[in-house]
């Protein structure tokens, strides 16, 4: 038996739970934050659970926290003392390691201390144990979720929790003059899928306007062909490496193998998106990469995703499908051209 805290994007927790039910027989769930955070009781031990999830990672499961300890909330300093003692008792887990402390809470939690205060106390304890408190690139994470009357605590590597950000909520700094927040989706996809956009040379951006994705690729040194009948942000016109085709994607054709990266973030129906991507697929080199968002416009997102992947599988191999933190009513696909 093992217990876990699962987190999904707002309103998508039911789909994450459905994926987990299909993956692991006999799991049971308790809701902790409506539509977003849940407690999972699993008949498998910790390593078996992690193995099952690694083999077929759920699309809608953004973050996974093991529950190694549970503390009853008293609403006073005793809560911090118990957390501190719990860390001291696990000295072998943290000694000579880089350790991050992640604290989240449900709005009605009886735990009265702020995340900053709790982290300050536990960082001091970690220093006593010859551990190095860090914010980024930890070896081990102490994940704390304060529910209404209980604190759930788990220790683990970032890979075991699916993210090195608290609750998988990836935060990027908004830049002055940024074209659009859509840029964050492409940045998060790079992290999630282990990519480096600077390693590509020629990209095609289908449905590019206003140019959030195009701007990131241009900044990384790529030549970008942006296609959209709508206007691109004026700031992008200064790039000599930009080719802007102010047309519908269905109206353009390119020589075979022109691009090694195809990106598409259009607010169109999933099947229309598939048609446009497949029509332009010959312009992508064999082994080329595609990063595509799929809009979940219907009430059956799991079926929509299956249909899209099936349609695209004629020309692409799916590497990973994930609802990123910066996705809203959509998911992101990472594909390689066959």
Query: Which residues are catalytic, by number?
Result: 295
Instruction: Tell me how far apart the alpha carbons of residues 123 and 112 are, in angstroms, rounded to a whole number.
Output: 18
Please report where in the chains the tokens 């992690």 appear, as a residue. 50
Name residues whose C-beta falls within 8 Å of residue 55's C-beta, 6 or more positions apart in sequence.
none
For 267-274, the CB contacts below 8 A with 24+ separation are 267/207, 267/295, 268/207, 268/295, 269/295, 269/297, 270/294, 270/295, 270/296, 270/297, 270/304, 270/307, 270/308, 271/307, 271/308, 271/311, 273/308, 274/308, 274/311, 274/312
Tally the residues of the chain.
338
Distance CA 202, CA 331 (A): 24
Q: Are 324 and 303 in contact, with CB atoms under 8 Å apart?
A: no
Burial label for 284, CB within 10 Å (0-12, 13-18, 19+), is: buried
Q: Is 101:118 a contact under the CB 8 Å cutoff?
A: yes
Tell how far CA 303 is from the center of its chain. 21
């Amino acid at each position: 038996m093992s217990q876990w805290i699962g987190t999904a994007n707002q309103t998508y927790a039911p789909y994450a739970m459905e994926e987990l039910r299909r993956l692991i027989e006999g799991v049971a769930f308790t809701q902790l934050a409506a539509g977003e955070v849940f407690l999972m009781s699993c008949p498998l031990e910790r390593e078996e659970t992690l193995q099952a999830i690694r083999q077929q990672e759920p699309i809608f499961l953004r973050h996974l926290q093991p529950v190694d300890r549970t503390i009853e909330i008293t609403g006073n300093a005793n809560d911090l003392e118990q957390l501190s003692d719990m860390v001291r008792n696990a000295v072998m887990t943290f000694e000579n390691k880089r350790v991050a402390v992640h604290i989240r809470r449900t709005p009605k939690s009886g735990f009265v201390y702020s995340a900053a205060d709790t982290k300050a106390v536990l960082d001091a304890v970690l220093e006593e144990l010859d551990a190095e408190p860090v914010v980024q690139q930890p070896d081990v994470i102490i994940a704390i979720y304060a529910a209404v009357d209980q604190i759930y605590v788990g220790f683990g590597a970032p890979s075991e929790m699916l993210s090195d950000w608290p609750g998988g909520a990836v935060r990027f700094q908004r830049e002055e003059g940024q074209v659009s927040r859509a840029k964050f989706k492409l940045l998060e996809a790079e992290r999630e899928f282990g990519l480096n956009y600077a390693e590509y040379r020629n990209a095609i951006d289908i449905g590019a306007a206003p140019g959030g994705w195009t701007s990131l690729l241009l900044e990384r040194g790529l030549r970008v062909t942006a296609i959209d009948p709508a206007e691109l942000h004026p700031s992008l016109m200064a790039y000599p490496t930009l080719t802007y085709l102010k047309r519908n994607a269905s109206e353009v054709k390119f020589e075979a193998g022109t691009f090694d990266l195809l990106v598409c973030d259009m607010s169109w129906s999933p099947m229309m998106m598939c048609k446009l991507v497949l029509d332009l697929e010959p312009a992508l080199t064999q082994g080329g990469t595609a990063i595509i968002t799929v809009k979940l416009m219907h009430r059956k997102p799991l079926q929509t995703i299956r249909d899209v992947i099936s349609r695209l599988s004629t020309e692409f191999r799916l590497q990973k499908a994930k609802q990123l933190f910066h996705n809203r009513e959509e998911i992101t696909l990472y594909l390689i051209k066959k």
